[in-house]
Structure 1
């Protein structure tokens, strides 16, 4: 499939090559505006909230920057966004601005994405808003921009349940693996919400990555490639990984880990949390935790406001090492666009004080009011609003905020993530290894799932390691050691 996609891209490039040196167009619409086409996940012309947001952005650009822009939102079909986007791009339909959530590297490898470095150097606002991890990622991969807090996931529980539990204090004072187990066990055997609530201590959306955010580093899985015996070994084939999977198998067998976690989506995971079926879930630090907090209080009352839990502590501690090879998601500009400069001016405006008022605060009268001479954020803001683009750490609106942008627990989640910040040693694999790597990752998913659910004994992990090495792991490990040494 990958080779087929690359062939289609190559065919497209033959026709696109002649236009790769296009200059900025001055073509205008009848009203004097310039159309900029943009594709973003969940932002469609059929979504009234999307239309309203981009109309507000058009108005702001015109009033504040004298840029007369008309956004054309590209309708995306339902399904896997990365796959659907790649199909769109390979058809030759490449919007001016593109939000990627995976699948961008093969597009960048075909020279279809703009190097943002010179634009950022000339920017009015963005260059001063970049976080340290943004700068490192852009140095390595200058095609995606995503000025957001670190995306590590943090665990939360209902605050009223937390307060009722006898194991809560020990967990907060000393969040060892054993104390986490005791906390999960109490949730299951002495449910603080009454009989059967919660039904299980933890649930996740489709895989174990959300559980890994709590436990990986405590088992010594502190980076993608672990330094051992003078060399490096991939963490998923390490003795530490086997030890962690044994722990997960125990959680599953004892009913602490939701047996339906494999089939849950993000919405059913969250519903289980709000409905009291699951005690603990994880969410991206910051705004997502704020949304969880708002919806939990809306569903169960103010006393149910969420409590953020610490990462487990053992051989290490943290919510996972931060990948600085590239942005995992972000906004790109098409190198084929005739409006590259204009597209970047839009991104730069979104980092300005005026742009941040639109992106961070939403719509006046709906998400905030200013009647008192202060910006008073509404319940709708806390429950629904999120920045489509940038969330730099420093944001000072032109009026004082009556209430903070984030709840106390959302701020706590961001602080914890930053306190435990550690860079990963992951690197971008050459194209020749990608197909094998994907197969090896799928092999891991198969074995780890079967071990956790008890379909395979733990000792089958050793068979997995041998298969992983035979599937290309040996060669990639040799390459990794060349890179990391």
Structure 2
């Protein structure tokens, strides 16, 4: 902690000297300047990235009279959050920063701008925020991420789904037991002449599978209220124990991918397209849209995806929505000389013109004009994504001849909205967060060992004790204090 503080203090001094030797943030031209930014998955040498930001520069100048030049930071391969923190600790802090973890320790050093007053004065951005965005900003005013709910929904190719006799039962009553029966028929039957090796796969751990089953087992929030009025962490509760027992049965019977713990996201998706896995989960909306586009490209129109419901039990849903803070998003450096200009860019991206640039891609590639209508291409469905905002309500300048999302993608987004519920997750201090990471690693190791049969479920109470000793007891005490 002391080392981190020293590094960040040095970075702040560097910026202070820089600011004193040149223009201050308050006196800089808010309509002209270079915005240095870092965005995950945006390589400045990529032709599509170059074209996107070139188009955006022209649009900002034409529509808003903003003379902006974008300078993208080249990020090395590897863990994005770790590589970003190395960049920031070196004192090289861009004006606009996309975080996917690791932001809290930067914010605690006063290196991120409070965006609340900017949003309040915005022309467009405040009008596209959902209630959960507003609550997150109030709790943690440093990140913005105006996207649909990021809940994951399970999908299966429709030609397989329609051939299974258990499909109707599952849709009518998606209990964990009926899900298991559905998975069993899927692996035993040969729908479409193929036979998946396993019913469901996941990438690296059980988080994706939890989106189907957690709430059915009564795990509807991060902290569960006990009969005495205090709260316990869901992952050390009896409800979690019952869920892990269920997962271990799926694994033992060959329904859950035997390599789920080491699977990567790309090999998970390949297994789905190749027919090795029957069901995978993906973030509702655009990710399901991409899955659907690739699946139909590989296996034909009849393989269009069917979205499966969340399992139903004590509760039903794809998981609660965290409102403590944005888990990822765009921040503005408090040391930037172009804070106002940077926010004007973010605000423009929420405008109708900004949304046209961000949402439908390049004319001639991702869409074409067909008379007075906009026709989206296959390339749009298989590869395009919004770099900035993606509000639920979006009206194009001309009517869409083809829908923005495929039917399965829109259905997944609607189901995520239908099952919306709020989490009670508490934002931890930096010191507590380090202990939290240790306890989460302990849980991941134990849950994987139970599911794969390396440890019996009877060890659950021992695990819960180890979790408390590793910092869980201290965190629980802190959370209960915050809950009052």
> In 2, distance between residues paired with 1:4 and 1:205?
34
The answer (yes or no) to whether the contact 2:19–2:337 under 8 Å persists in 1 is no
Per-residue deviation, 1:408: 1.2
Matched position secondary structure for 1:183: helix
Per-residue deviation, 1:6: 4.1
> In 2, distance between residues paired with 1:25 and 1:387?
32
The answer (yes or no) to whether the contact 1:25–1:339 under 8 Å persists in 2 is no
Structure 2 match to 1:267: 266
Structure 1 match to 2:380: 381
In structure 2, do the counterparts of structure 1 residues 26 and 7 end up closer, same or farther at CA, with 3 Å as the change threshold? closer
Structure 2 match to 1:153: 152
In structure 2, do the counterparts of structure 1 residues 456 and 3 end up closer, same or farther at CA, with 3 Å as the change threshold? farther
> In 1, distance between residues paired with 2:183 and 2:131?
35
> In 1, distance between residues paired with 2:389 and 2:243?
36
Matched position secondary structure for 2:162: helix
Count matched residues: 480
> In 2, distance between residues paired with 1:193 and 1:470?
52
Structure 2 match to 1:48: 47
Q: Any unmatched runs of 5+ in structure 2?
A: none
> In 2, distance between residues paired with 1:145 and 1:251?
39
Counterparts of residues 78-477 of structure 1 (less than 5 Å): 78-195=77-194, 197-229=195-227, 230-477=229-476
Deviations 1:330-368 (A, max 9, x none): 111111100000000000110111110000011111111
Per-residue deviation, 1:3: 5.6
Per-residue deviation, 1:263: 1.6
In structure 2, do the counterparts of structure 1 residues 317 and 35 end up closer, same or farther at CA, with 3 Å as the change threshold? same
> In 1, distance between residues paired with 2:409 and 2:435?
39
Matched position secondary structure for 1:11: helix
> In 2, distance between residues paired with 1:3 and 1:410?
47
Q: Is residue 2:22 matched to residue 1:23?
A: no
> In 2, distance between residues paired with 1:7 and 1:33?
33
In structure 2, do the counterparts of structure 1 residues 33 and 117 end up closer, same or farther at CA, with 3 Å as the change threshold? closer
Per-residue deviation, 1:56: 1.1
In structure 2, do the counterparts of structure 1 residues 463 and 7 end up closer, same or farther at CA, with 3 Å as the change threshold? farther
The answer (yes or no) to whether the contact 1:245–1:452 under 8 Å persists in 2 is yes
> In 2, distance between residues paired with 1:329 and 1:26?
29
Per-residue deviation, 1:152: 0.3
Per-residue deviation, 1:34: 2.4
Matched position secondary structure for 1:164: coil
The answer (yes or no) to whether the contact 1:20–1:335 under 8 Å persists in 2 is no
Q: Any unmatched runs of 5+ in structure 1?
A: none
Matched position secondary structure for 1:459: helix
Q: Tell which deviates more after alignment, 383-392 or 2-11.
A: 2-11
Per-residue deviation, 1:217: 0.4
How much is the aligned-residue C-alpha RMSD, in angstroms?
1.6
Q: Tell which deviates more after alignment, 201-210 or 432-441.
A: 432-441
> In 1, distance between residues paired with 2:470 and 2:480?
18
Matched position secondary structure for 1:160: helix
Per-residue deviation, 1:191: 3.2
> In 2, distance between residues paired with 1:6 and 1:213?
37
Per-residue deviation, 1:192: 1.5
Q: Tell which deviates more after alignment, 428-437 or 401-410.
A: 428-437
> In 2, distance between residues paired with 1:371 and 1:477?
59
Deviations 1:262-289 (A, max 9, x none): 2221111111100101000000010101
The answer (yes or no) to whether the contact 2:34–2:70 under 8 Å persists in 1 is yes
> In 2, distance between residues paired with 1:154 and 1:389?
22
Matched position secondary structure for 1:154: strand
Per-residue deviation, 1:8: 2.2
Deviations 1:218-239 (A, max 9, x none): 0000000001122110000000
> In 1, distance between residues paired with 2:478 and 2:33?
48
Deviations 1:169-224 (A, max 9, x none): 001111011110001111111132435x2110011111110000000000000000
Deviations 1:364-406 (A, max 9, x none): 1111111311011111111111111111111111111111101
In structure 2, do the counterparts of structure 1 residues 19 and 34 end up closer, same or farther at CA, with 3 Å as the change threshold? closer
The answer (yes or no) to whether the contact 1:27–1:34 under 8 Å persists in 2 is yes
In structure 2, do the counterparts of structure 1 residues 27 and 116 end up closer, same or farther at CA, with 3 Å as the change threshold? closer
